Structure 1
Amino acid sequence: LKKLNLEGSYNLKELPDLSNATNLEMLDLSVCLALAELPSSIKNLHKLDVIYMDLCESLHMIPTNINLASLETMYMTGCPQLKTFPAFSTKIKRLYLVRTGVEEVPESITHCSRLLKIDLSSSRNLKSITHLPSSLQTLDLSSTDIEMIADSCIKDLQRLDHLRLCRCRKLKSLPELPASL
Structure 2
Amino acid sequence: LKKMSLSSSWYLKKLPDLSNATNLEELDLRACQNLVELPSSFSYLHKLKYLNMMGCRRLKEVPTHINLKSLELVNMYGCSRLKSFPDISTNISSLDISYTDVEELPESMTMWSRLRTLEIYKSRNLKIVTHVPINLTYLDLSETRIEKIPDDIKNVHGLQILFLGGCRKLASLPELPGSL
TM-score normalized by structure 2? 0.97
RMSD: 1.0
CA distance in structure 1 between the partners assigned to 2:5 and 2:161 by the alignment: 32
Check the 8 A contact 1:25/1:49 in 2, yes or no.
Answer: yes
1:145 corresponds to: 145
In the alignment, does 2:129 pair up with 1:125?
no
Task: Indicate the SS of the match to 2:85.
Answer: coil
Offset, 1:147: 1.3
2:170 corresponds to: 171
1:68 corresponds to: 68
CA distance in structure 2 between the partners assigned to 1:135 and 1:158 by the alignment: 8
CA distance in structure 2 between the partners assigned to 1:69 and 1:105 by the alignment: 19
Offset, 1:161: 1.2
Offset, 1:106: 2.1
Check the 8 A contact 1:106/1:131 in 2, yes or no.
Answer: no
- Tell me which amino acid in the other structure corresponds to 2:165: C
Offset, 1:126: 0.4
Offset, 1:158: 1.3
Gaps of 5+ in 2: none
Task: Indicate the SS of the match to 1:42.
Answer: helix
What does 1:17-166 align with in structure 2 at a 5 Å threshold?
A: 17-152=17-152, 154-166=153-165
Task: Indicate the SS of the match to 2:64.
Answer: coil
Higher deviation after alignment, 163-172 or 94-103: 163-172
Question: Number of paired residues?
Answer: 180
Task: Indicate the SS of the match to 1:129.
Answer: coil
Runs of 4+, deviation exceeding 4 Å: none
Check the 8 A contact 2:150/2:174 in 1, yes or no.
Answer: yes
Check the 8 A contact 1:2/1:24 in 2, yes or no.
Answer: yes
CA distance in structure 1 between the partners assigned to 2:66 and 2:117 by the alignment: 20
2:8 corresponds to: 8
Check the 8 A contact 1:105/1:131 in 2, yes or no.
Answer: no
Offset, 1:175: 2.0
CA distance in structure 2 between the partners assigned to 1:111 and 1:21 by the alignment: 28
